[in-house]
Amino acid sequence: QLFAQVTNPPLDSTREYIVMSLECMVGPMGDITSTKEEQAGRLCLKTPMLREHELQGLMNTEVRGWKAKQLDASYPVSEGNEGLARAIQRLRLEAEQAVAAGYSIIVIT
């Protein structure tokens, strides 16, 4: 046989935990080339899905001066794809405005 044969084994979450992780970092990233202490202040979440009390804790945080802004992603289903496109555009604009206003964390609900 003069070619490599590729198999498709099932993913092994125990040995491939780094690529299988749902862990996500929250908070301002800043300059990734800096090794200053203020660059280490990010929140590590085990999953991007939060329970109600975890979401409330994040929304009410005052750690490192962070402020959280909640954005509503809902739109009338009757408006179809056009309504979805308008909602995404609205969310983009609202997120930009929130960041410009000093919010560090954007929560889309």
Q: What is the pTM of this model?
A: 0.66
User: What stretches of the chain show up as alpha helix (H) in DSSP?
Assistant: 17-20, 52-59, 80-100
Reading the chain (109 residues) residue by residue, the pLDDT tens digits are: 566 666 566 566 666 666 677 888 877 677 777 777 766 677 888 888 888 998 898 888 877 788 899 999 999 999 999 999 999 999 999 999 999 999 888 889 8
* Amino acid code (one letter) for 101: A
| Other Cβ atoms within 10 Å of 57 Cβ, number | 12
Distances in whole angstroms, Cα of residue 3 to Cα of each of 6, 24, 75, 107: 10, 39, 52, 49
Distances in whole angstroms, Cα of residue 70 to Cα of each of 2, 4, 64, 66, 107: 57, 51, 19, 13, 5
Token pair for 38: 């203020």
